[in-house]
Amino acid sequence: MNIKSADRLQGLPTQFFSTMVAKVNSYIAQGHDVINLGQGNPDLPTPPHIVESLRHEVLDPVTHKYPPFSGLFELKQAIASWYKNEFDVDLDPATEVAILFGGKTGLVEISQCLLNPGDVCLVPDPGYPDYWSGVALSGAEMTMMPLLRDNAFLPDYSQIPADKLAKAKLMFLNYPNNPTSATAPRAFYEDTVRFAEQNNVIVASDFAYGAIGFDGVKPVSFLQTPGAKEVGVEFYTLSKTYNMAGWRVGFALGNKEVVRLINLIQDHYYVSLPAFIQRASVTALTSSQDCVHQLAATYEQRRNVFVSGLKKAGWDVLTPQGSFFTWVPVPKGFTSVEFSDTLLEQAHVMVAPGVGFGPSGEGYVRVGLLTSEQRLQEAVERMAKISL
């Protein structure tokens, strides 16, 4: 039988990082001690009180049944209360909260909810590659918004071509940013709301790293901006905040019509998250947040070890403001892929080439702070010794 895929699958972007994983695994198979700083998978366990809550909830036979299609209302209430406590944002749990199978799912679904062939989506460059996947599945096209060091890795809306802006319906933003680790000030979001209103563009704010800010500065939520709920939604996930990446719990928050559309498309894909995971997520959101503060402090200390070490070795590296990444400029004479390969071959340290996040990522590599301080210090020492 000759099986041919649907056209929509033919247009999906190549998974750039699958080749990176294959390279790392080949070196490990050869017996090398590889320090893998190229991925974004949290290395620490879920806090014990959340795990214990899951153990308790899964023993309740009620949680073995199908949950409500759009999720447990008690979880939506917990989400709304948490956002109010953390960011002073008011959310109606009945109409302004959608529960997702992880943040990534919502970031792909929103393009399918809002975009048609011929529409334009404004995408940060560099940015999270799965934004591209949703746009491709919708049949729309992307216009990249370069994030440059000279502009603090914020997009310059004045540089978007007029013909593309006229067809734009959706825009992705992500702060604290993956991969650049930059954060966005309140004034930027105020400009963004005005820009979205004037151009009828819906904003999708990816706030996955919203709990990870450094030097006593709390990251700003897009939804804290007056008018934000009229022009967009924010995506949040428990993956980074509580080391619950494998639990796949995310939310879309804000504009009622966009939330309704996301719930609509999910009605055709899923029967919501398992109830025991949703109940344990309520525990995460309503219990003491000391574990979250401790986690952010851990990443800050790791940042200090890694960045100070590279600076002492003479590297030009910016100090991250948030997230658990460091955006490191590539030495002259290398592309980001060449430099990544050199580090793997000569230092047995794996980092992610910046070009994998978009054309403007060329000239950088992304380093994940997702191992112990000792291993990060060792990575610095190995990197300092290689011949460039």
Q: Is the peptide bond before 126 cis (omega within 30 degrees of 0)?
A: yes
Q: Residue 196 — pLDDT band, cuts 50, 70, 90? A: very high
Mean pLDDT of the chain, nearest integer: 95
Burial label, 244 (beta-carbon count in 10 A; 0-12, 13-18, 19+): buried
Average pLDDT over every residue of 22-38: 90
What are 235's strand-pairing partners?
206, 252
Q: Is the peptide bond before 129 cis (omega within 30 degrees of 0)?
A: no
What would the pLDDT profile of 130-189 be if each residue is shown by its tens digit? 999 999 999 999 999 999 999 999 999 999 999 999 999 999 999 999 999 999 999 999
Residue 273 neighbours by CB under 8 Å, 6+ apart: 67, 71, 99, 101, 248, 249
What would the pLDDT profile of 84-125 be if each residue is shown by its tens digit? 999 999 999 999 999 999 999 999 999 999 999 999 999 999
Helix (H, G, I), strand (E, B) or coil at 46: coil
Buried b (16+ CB within 10 A) or exposed e, 134-156: bbbbbbbbbbbbbbeeeeebbbe
Distance between CA atoms of residues 385 and 382, nearest Å: 5
Residue 99 neighbours by CB under 8 Å, 6+ apart: 70, 71, 72, 75, 76, 79, 249, 250, 251, 272, 273, 278
What would the pLDDT profile of 47-75 be if each residue is shown by its tens digit? 999 999 999 999 999 999 999 999 999 99
How far is the first Cα of the chain from the last one, in angstroms, to the nearest whole number? 52
**Residue 10, pLDDT score:** 85
Single-letter amino acid code for the residue at 205? S
Query: At residue 4, does pLDDT exceed 90?
Result: no
Query: At residue 81, does pLDDT exceed 80?
Result: yes
Q: Residue 11 — pLDDT band, cuts 50, 70, 90? A: confident
Task: Show the tokens assigned to 365.
Answer: 């590599």
Average pLDDT over every residue of 290-301: 98
**Residue 7, pLDDT score:** 86
User: Cβ(255)–Cβ(229) under 8 Å?
Assistant: yes
List the helix and strand counts (H, then E) for the chain.
Answer: 15, 12
Q: Residue 282 — pLDDT band, cuts 50, 70, 90? A: very high
Domains of the chain: 7-45+291-385 (3.90.1150.10), 64-286 (3.40.640.10)
Query: At residue 15, does pLDDT exceed 80?
Result: no
Task: Show the tokens assigned to 175.
Answer: 């702060």
Average pLDDT over every residue of 217-224: 98
Query: At residue 22, does pLDDT exceed 90?
Result: no
**Residue 290, pLDDT score:** 98
Average pLDDT over every residue of 354-359: 96
Average pLDDT over every residue of 291-319: 96
Q: Residue 14 — pLDDT band, cuts 50, 70, 90? A: confident
User: Above pLDDT 70, what percent of the chain?
Assistant: 99
User: Cβ(38)–Cβ(349) under 8 Å?
Assistant: no
User: Above pLDDT 90, what percent of the chain?
Assistant: 90
- What number of CA atoms fall less than 13 Å from residue 2's CA on the CB side? 0
**Residue 371, pLDDT score:** 97
**Residue 9, pLDDT score:** 87
Average pLDDT over every residue of 209-214: 98
Query: At residue 17, does pLDDT exceed 80?
Result: no
